[in-house]
Chain A
Amino acid sequence: GESVGLHLPTLSVQEGDNSIINCAYSNSASDYFIWYKQESGKGPQFIIDIRSNMDKRQGQRVTVLLNKTVKHLSLQIAATQPGDSAVYFCAVPSGGYNKLIFGAGTRLAVHP
């Protein structure tokens, strides 16, 4: 079945540094990818998405890169702030966009 995985369960960075969170997916037919942020005690919050016809998409302080050749995507956070501390998940829709398949998540810890 379809699977999504992240490379590192935890990532520790200094405040102000850039963060890169990686994700691999299994289904080469996947055409849409989403990054979610989950803070402690809260539900996942949509950050940014990208379609397979794009290699890069930028938001506010975040950039998602998609490499379809190796089925890999990454989330880059510029000038990481303490408020960025959370668990980050990549997700792909499955079953005709009826459900999301999530990876296990990467916990980002931002140190002053």
Chain B
Amino acid sequence: DTGVSQDPRHKITKRGQNVTFRCDPISEHNRLYWYRQTLGQGPEFLTYFQNEAQLEKSRLLSDRFSAERPKGSFSTLEIQRTEQGDSAMYLCASSSPGTNYNEQFFGPGTRLTVL
């Protein structure tokens, strides 16, 4: 499978714990995006990388959230001191300059439940 992959697919944690999610983009895509999706809503942009550089962060990305893409390939999203309001689906997407970055390919998401 050459699509975007995310791990884990599901995560249940207790409030106050730290969690980390991983995203592996399509190999030739140099842009990587993180979105959050709550039940019944469309995805909301969190942040994006071009290669290893994090170029934009949404105001939704509080200081408890940190994302990295150290080698310009896979990315991690860490949430520290999780809160019940962090419960959501976290989606990763990637795109390439070949389509002017227009088409973002999404992974299956990581569903986070904070108890």
Q: Residues of A with Cβ closer than 8 Å to B?
A: 4, 9, 32, 34, 36, 41-46, 49, 89, 91, 93, 95, 97-105
Q: How far is the CA of A41 from the CA of B56 in the complex (A)?
A: 27
Task: Contact check, A103 vs B56: say whether CB atoms are below 8 A apart.
Answer: no
Q: Which of chain B's residues 81-97 have a Cβ closer than 8 Å to chain A?
A: 91, 93
* B side interface size, CB within 8 A: 25
Q: How far is the CA of A102 from the CA of B58 in the complex (A)?
A: 14
Interface string of B37-80 (1 = CB under 8 A from A): 00011111100100000011010000000000000000000000
Task: Contact check, B91 vs A44: say whether CB atoms are below 8 A apart.
Answer: yes
Q: Besides A41-B108, A45-B106, A102-B44, 4 other CB < 8 A contacts?
A: A32-B102, A49-B102, A97-B102, A98-B55
Task: Contact check, B42 vs A102: say whether CB atoms are below 8 A apart.
Answer: yes
Which residues does chain A contribute within 8 Å of B101, judged by CB atoms?
97-98
Which residues does chain B contribute within 8 Å of A95, judged by CB atoms?
56
Q: 7 A-B contacts, Cβ less than 8 Å apart?
A: A34-B103, A43-B91, A43-B107, A91-B42, A99-B56, A100-B45, A102-B44
Task: Contact check, A43 vs B106: say whether CB atoms are below 8 A apart.
Answer: yes
Q: How far is the CA of A89 from the CA of B91 in the complex (A)?
A: 15
